Amino acid sequence: MALAKKLTRGALMITKKVLASLYVVTSVCASLAWGENDATANYVAEYKRVSGAYSDIMKSIENAKNGDEWDEKFHKLQGFMSNPGLDRNSGVALCAHLKSLDHHQLEYVENIIDSEITAISLKSCRAELLTRISYASRFRKASFDLDSDIARIRPIAFEERVVDEKLNVLSNQGFKDKEVMLTFDDGPTKNVTTNILNALKKAGVKGAFFSTGRMALANSEMAKRIVAEGHILGSHSYFHTLMMGRQVNRGKMSYDYFMSEFVGGHMAVYSAAKFIDPFFRFPNGCSNQNMARNVAELGLKNFRWSVDSFDWQFQVSKNPDYEKRRQDILKSFVTQLRASNNKGIVLMHDIFKQSGEALPLILNYLSDNGFKVVLLKPAHRQVTPNQEFPLVTQAYDYINSRGMKLSQVRPATNADGDPVSPEGYKSPVDFFHMFPQLTYQQHAINPAAADCEYR
Ligand SMILES: [Zn+2]
């Protein structure tokens, strides 16, 4: 872009911001004159607090040094946007702040704005923000078109294989050279999961989706589509509470809370899709030995990964150039794939726009370089009403016989819909009565234990 044009654009943006703050200032003066000083002063203070907090979290996301840290901060942002504060001005203040952002910054949080969790907090501006985002992306269609990229995806060799019963924790064991499994976490979402499913279909391959219970319930049609198109649908906890293994080891999370996240998430994905595969992935892959043993005792396979694509790092707001952003993700994917000897389980996410955009490039790389996509699946898998779901059936038997509700299985929430504190949490469900086969029933806190046992 020519410098003059850049400067004009910068000046325009600055003018906009100045006008917005002038508006706040003049409204303050006007209201002061009319004696509404208390209410206005409260609002101004709340606006300052909310926009400051939002900017701080954003900064911490940009400065994240690794995937776990990024994940933690991004979930903090989700939490903040769903519950910006107790003041009645909090939601309005958050709306005012979001309206002051440019469209790249807005697109970064599009899925949060568009999800159920902000239905109340962003009530007054949600529709307006989504319209702005959609106009911005329509305008950009001139420079790229994801649909035509998907149409150019070439076929890839594909094989379905029954998961090795002997393995408890899966990452790249049992994969031959140039064999990869594709997995997508944290969704489903309307926009990104749709692009991913379309791309996989075009390549003629299938993948595994590890969905959180909360997202599956919010996008149940998408969860059903995943199953209908022959992909694996596993669970990834209910709220995606971070670093569960570390928190349990340090006594910051009760064992009951972990069980609520684990069983509640599995039940919620099942209830959204009316189907679930006996596959589970810990949030951040962070477990401890006893938690991993419980997963195995309930008949579920514990999935880790060996190739982190780092798709989460290339957020739209920091990487505004579409082509560069997806080329960077491809580069990062290829580097990680080589580091894993060109085989193993690939980790991507179906909540970030950039992941859906980069997938056509990744699939064509696999196609052009002689890779095969392998889908590990449970033995005796049948997507029919006759399928048995051992954990699900047992859990339903327990809650039905006690007249309990499914929502009591997952962690309780406070009045704002946020999960209660995991420390010392007691569930109304006695999980060890629900599942008498669990051999591990008590957790003694062992501060000497490893933070996360990635095994
Ligand atoms: Zn995750």
Residue 224 lies in a domain: yes
What total number of domains does the chain contain?
Answer: 2
Residue 383 lies in a domain: no
Query: For the segment 74-88, what is each residue's pLDDT rounded down to a tens digit?
Result: 888 999 999 999 888
Residue 421 lies in a domain: no
**pLDDT score recorded for residue 137:** 73
**pLDDT score recorded for residue 27:** 44
In this structure, the answer to whether residues 113 and 188 fall within a common structural domain is no
Among candidate residues 97, 116, 140, the one where a domain is terminated: 140
Residue 311 lies in a domain: yes
Calculate how far, in angstroms, residue 313's C-alpha sits from the geometric centre of ligand 1. Answer: 14
Calculate how far, in angstroms, residue 283's C-alpha sits from the geometric centre of ligand 1. Answer: 5
Calculate how far, in angstroms, residue 15's C-alpha sits from the geometric centre of ligand 1. Answer: 40
Calculate how far, in angstroms, residue 47's C-alpha sits from the geometric centre of ligand 1. Answer: 31
In this structure, the answer to whether residues 150 and 97 fall within a common structural domain is no
In this structure, the answer to whether residues 311 and 192 fall within a common structural domain is yes
**pLDDT score recorded for residue 116:** 83
Calculate how far, in angstroms, residue 12's C-alpha sits from the geometric centre of ligand 1. Answer: 39
**pLDDT score recorded for residue 442:** 60
Calculate how far, in angstroms, residue 185's C-alpha sits from the geometric centre of ligand 1. Answer: 5
In this structure, the answer to whether residues 74 and 189 fall within a common structural domain is no
Calculate how far, in angstroms, residue 349's C-alpha sits from the geometric centre of ligand 1. Answer: 8
For residue 207, give the CATH number of its domain: 3.20.20.370
In this structure, the answer to whether residues 60 and 173 fall within a common structural domain is no
**pLDDT score recorded for residue 319:** 85
In this structure, the answer to whether residues 172 and 300 fall within a common structural domain is yes
Cβ-based neighbours of 439, under 8 Å, separated by 6 or more = 293, 297
In this structure, the answer to whether residues 201 and 277 fall within a common structural domain is yes
Among candidate residues 100, 122, 140, the one where a domain is terminated: 140
In this structure, the answer to whether residues 235 and 308 fall within a common structural domain is yes
Q: Which domain holds residue 329?
A: 146-377
**pLDDT score recorded for residue 1:** 42
In this structure, the answer to whether residues 258 and 219 fall within a common structural domain is yes
Residue 395 lies in a domain: no
In this structure, the answer to whether residues 267 and 288 fall within a common structural domain is yes
Among candidate residues 140, 157, 172, the one where a domain is terminated: 140
Residue 237 lies in a domain: yes
Look at the pTM and tell me if it is higher than 0.95. Answer: no
In this structure, the answer to whether residues 27 and 90 fall within a common structural domain is yes
Calculate how far, in angstroms, residue 438's C-alpha sits from the geometric centre of ligand 1. Answer: 25
**pLDDT score recorded for residue 446:** 65
Calculate how far, in angstroms, residue 238's C-alpha sits from the geometric centre of ligand 1. Answer: 11
Query: For the segment 210-250, what is each residue's pLDDT rounded down to a tens digit?
Result: 999 999 999 999 999 999 999 999 999 999 998 999 888 88
Calculate how far, in angstroms, residue 186's C-alpha sits from the geometric centre of ligand 1. Answer: 5
Calculate how far, in angstroms, residue 274's C-alpha sits from the geometric centre of ligand 1. Answer: 22
Calculate how far, in angstroms, residue 88's C-alpha sits from the geometric centre of ligand 1. Answer: 32
In this structure, the answer to whether residues 116 and 183 fall within a common structural domain is no
Query: For the segment 106-140, what is each residue's pLDDT rounded down to a tens digit?
Result: 888 888 998 888 989 999 999 999 999 888 777 66
Residue-level pLDDT, tens digit, the chain, 455 residues: 444 444 444 444 444 444 444 444 444 444 444 556 788 889 999 999 999 999 999 998 888 776 667 777 888 899 999 999 988 899 999 999 999 998 888 888 888 998 888 989 999 999 999 999 888 777 665 556 888 899 999 999 999 999 998 888 898 889 999 999 999 999 999 989 999 999 999 999 999 999 999 999 999 999 999 999 999 999 999 999 989 998 888 889 999 999 999 999 999 999 999 999 999 999 999 998 889 999 999 999 999 999 999 999 898 878 888 889 999 999 999 999 999 999 999 999 999 999 999 999 999 999 999 999 999 999 989 888 788 898 999 999 999 999 999 999 999 998 877 889 999 999 999 999 999 999 865 656 566 666 787 65
Residue 222 lies in a domain: yes
Residue 263 lies in a domain: yes
